[in-house]
């Protein structure tokens, strides 16, 4: 298994840049390249562990990811949802088998979604945390993960207010980006051996972040989060940061910069409210919000190298199994689950049941009309679109507006009692807005980029919206792109009926 980030460039000359988008390589001797990447430059391993179920058709999937789910038997409606992102050269099954998260899904009762990338996206099967086309809101891999959240909420009846995300290494870096881009989706996150949100926007910058992170001010780091989030965001996820002091792949200084970034976003200082000594030489630093609740927690594991902290055994605070980048120290999953509140009771959901009979009665180019059965005692209703609260209705009907044409959405509703407590969310329904006619465009990669149908990154071309790889950015490579929605194009070389 190769390094879970692009390996460093030795002083003697360039080598393969594991983690470069779409198998991009520096030209060197093949033997040296294979030695540096551990021979892992093909497609990543596929998940096949018992208990994992692959879910397909979860959305347009512009990031070309696979969705795997671990859902305990008899999972109740309104349970939390956890998203777990593996590191480079790993897979959903590998992360499921070693991280310990499935046992906490069983213990605390939540659905676990494990997105998976592959060598088709990245040479070492890393999530492309350093690519703007994959890490920004509504784009590439980030959008694919967001679509998995919506699918899981619909499929398992998960509570849209209790969605959490965690990740290791490159998965940790992508977790930071997801928390910044989708603070309206995630209630909390946990970044293990990762980097600050939007620390890099290119491969070369990724190296700098990993080995010599920029010493920005908290305000500068916080500004990167605020600029990535929807305008006007005032509520932020609670963030746990895990870092080994002996990590030579992602330098421990990154944990400090992460701390600075998220405490600034929360508007709190960088002096911990308290510290605590845990097992395995772990120091916990807690940063409380204005109400005295932990907003940011930093776990510094003394002597731990690059990887995820696990603690095999049968004790209540133990979890996981050892392996490459799974290090026997302390169970990070246990402490993270407690930080998120997964070990306690669900938040007050009121006494009203979930509405029944939710139906989309009609769609327009930019809107959809919804109705549902009245819930006795309901003072109002909360309406959720794609897992995010989008409006409030005082009757059993709502018209959602401002939607994109030719786009599929899902909706769910919850009844609110006279005290203002919302009940469980209803099963979701989906519908597609009208009014868009697909078009086809055949041209060189250069002309597609010039026309705005594609974008250039690292000398390569990618279809705008879908993020599909199109090859080198030049006038000699030709593709047909099908415009399936505004600002969304897909490669259609095999035929474009539009």
Answer whether 470's CB lies under 8 Å from 454's CB.
Answer: yes
Select the more confidently predicted residue: 470 or 30.
Answer: 470
| Average pLDDT, integer, range 368-388 | 91
Q: What is the mean pLDDT of residues 55-71?
A: 95
Q: How far apart are the first and last CA of the chain?
A: 44
In this prediction, residues 259-278 reach a mean pLDDT of 96
State the pLDDT at residue 255: 97
0.75 exceeded by pTM: no
How much is the pLDDT for 5? Answer: 63
Confidence grade of residue 345 (pLDDT, cut at 50, 70, 90): low
Q: Is the pLDDT of residue 372 over 80?
A: yes
Task: Please indicate whether residue 493 or residue 24 has the higher confidence score (pLDDT).
Answer: 493
CATH of domain 53-340: 3.40.50.1820
Q: How confident is the model at residue 421 (pLDDT cuts 50, 70, 90)?
A: confident
CA distance 110 to 52: 14
The pLDDT of residue 35? 23
**Mean pLDDT rounded to a whole number for the chain:** 86
The yes-or-no verdict on residue 30 having pLDDT over 80 is no
Domain ranges of the chain: 53-340, 359-432, 439-491
Tens of pLDDT, residue by residue over 64-111, are 999 999 999 888 888 999 999 999 999 999 999 999 999 999 999 999
Given a cut of 80, whether residue 27 has pLDDT beyond it is no
Average pLDDT over residues 317-345: 94
Tell me the mean pLDDT in the region 254-261. 97
Is the predicted pLDDT of residue 371 greater than 90, yes or no?
yes
Mean pLDDT of 163-188: 97
Confidence tier at 48 by pLDDT (50, 70, 90): very low
Q: What is the CATH number of domain 359-432?
A: 2.60.40.10
Q: Please say if the pLDDT value at position 15 is more than 80.
A: no
Q: Examine the residue annotation and report whether 235 is marked as an active-site residue of this protein.
A: no
| Residue with more model confidence, 73 or 39 | 73
pLDDT for the residue numbered 49: 38
pLDDT at 475: 84
Average pLDDT value for residue range 418-442: 84
Q: What is the mean pLDDT of residues 436-459?
A: 87
More confident residue, 34 or 95: 95
User: How does pLDDT run across 97-152, given as a tens digit for each residue?
Assistant: 999 999 999 999 999 999 999 989 999 999 999 999 999 999 999 999 999 999 99
Lowest mean pLDDT segment, chosen from 17-26, 172-181, 337-346 = 17-26
Q: Is the pLDDT of residue 390 over 80?
A: yes
- Which residue is catalytic, options 99, 135, 154, 169? 169
User: What pLDDT shows up at residue 291?
Assistant: 86
- Asked, colleague to colleague, whether 53-340 and 359-432 share their fold, the answer is no
Residue 12 has pLDDT above 50, yes or no: no
pLDDT of residue 349: 57
Sequence-ordered list of residues with C-beta below 8 angstroms from that of 401, at least 6 positions apart, any chain: 366, 367
Confidence of residue 32 (pLDDT cuts 50, 70, 90): very low
- Residue among 324, 318, 278 at smallest CA distance from 301: 278
In whole angstroms, what is the distance from residue 402 CA to residue 122 CA? 35
Place 351 in a pLDDT band, splitting at 50, 70 and 90: confident
Interval 448-473 mean pLDDT: 89
pLDDT of residue 100: 97
Q: What percent of the chain has pLDDT over 70?
A: 88
Please report the pLDDT score of residue 31 as a whole number.
26
């Amino acid at each position: 298994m190769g390094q879970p980030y692009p390996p460093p460039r030795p002083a003697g000359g360039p080598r393969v840049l594991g983690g470069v988008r779409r198998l991009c390589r520096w030209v060197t001797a093949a033997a040296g390249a294979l030695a540096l990447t551990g021979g892992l430059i093909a497609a990543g391993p596929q998940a096949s562990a018992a208990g994992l179920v692959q879910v397909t058709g979860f959305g347009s999937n512009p990031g070309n990811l696979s969705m795997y789910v671990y859902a305990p038997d008899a999972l109740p409606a309104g349970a939390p949802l956890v998203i777990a992102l593996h590191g480079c050269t790993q897979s959903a099954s590998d992360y499921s088998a070693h991280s310990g998260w499935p046992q906490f899904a069983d213990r605390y009762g939540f659905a676990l979604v494990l997105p998976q990338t592959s060598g088709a996206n990245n040479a070492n099967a890393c999530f492309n945390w350093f690519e703007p086309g994959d890490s920004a809101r509504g784009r590439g891999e980030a959008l694919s993960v967001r679509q998995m959240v919506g699918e899981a909420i619909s499929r398992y009846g998960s509570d849209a207010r209790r969605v959490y995300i965690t990740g290791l290494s490159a998965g940790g870096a992508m977790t930071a980006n997801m928390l910044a881009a989708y603070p309206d989706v995630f209630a909390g996150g946990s970044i293990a051996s990762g980097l600050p949100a939007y620390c890099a926007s290119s491969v070369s910058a990724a190296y700098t972040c990993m080995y010599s992170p920029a010493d920005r001010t908290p305000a500068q780091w916080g500004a990167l989060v605020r600029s990535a989030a929807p305008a006007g965001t005032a509520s932020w996820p609670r963030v746990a940061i895990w870092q080994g002091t002996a990590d030579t792949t992602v330098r421990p200084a990154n944990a400090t910069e992460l701390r600075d970034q998220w405490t600034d976003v929360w508007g709190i200082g960088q002096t911990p409210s308290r510290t605590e000594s845990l097992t395995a030489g772990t120091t916990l630093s807690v940063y409380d919000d204005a109400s005295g609740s932990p907003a940011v927690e930093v776990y510094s594991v003394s002597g731990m190298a690059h990887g995820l902290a696990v603690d095999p055994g049968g004790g209540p605070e133990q979890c996981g199994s050892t392996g490459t980048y799974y290090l026997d120290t302390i169970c990070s999953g246990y402490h993270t689950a407690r930080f998120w509140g997964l070990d306690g009771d669900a938040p007050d959901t009121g006494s009203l049941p979930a509405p029944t009979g939710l139906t989309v009665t009609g769609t327009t180019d930019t809107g959809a009309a919804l109705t549902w059965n009245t819930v006795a005692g309901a003072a109002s209703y909360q309406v959720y679109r794609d897992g995010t609260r989008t409006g409030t209705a005082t009757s059993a009907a709502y018209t959602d507006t401002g939607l994109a044409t030719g786009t599929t959405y899902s909706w769910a509703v919850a009844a609110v009692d006279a005290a203002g407590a919302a009940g469980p969310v209803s099963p979701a329904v989906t519908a597609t807005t009208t009014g868009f006619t697909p078009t086809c465009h055949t041209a060189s990669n250069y002309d597609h980029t010039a026309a705005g149908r594609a974008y250039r990154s690292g000398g390569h071309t990618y279809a705008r919206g879908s993020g599909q790889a199109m090859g080198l950015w030049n006038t000699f490579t030709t593709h047909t792109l099908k415009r399936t929605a505004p600002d969304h194009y897909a490669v259609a070389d095999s035929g474009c009926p539009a």
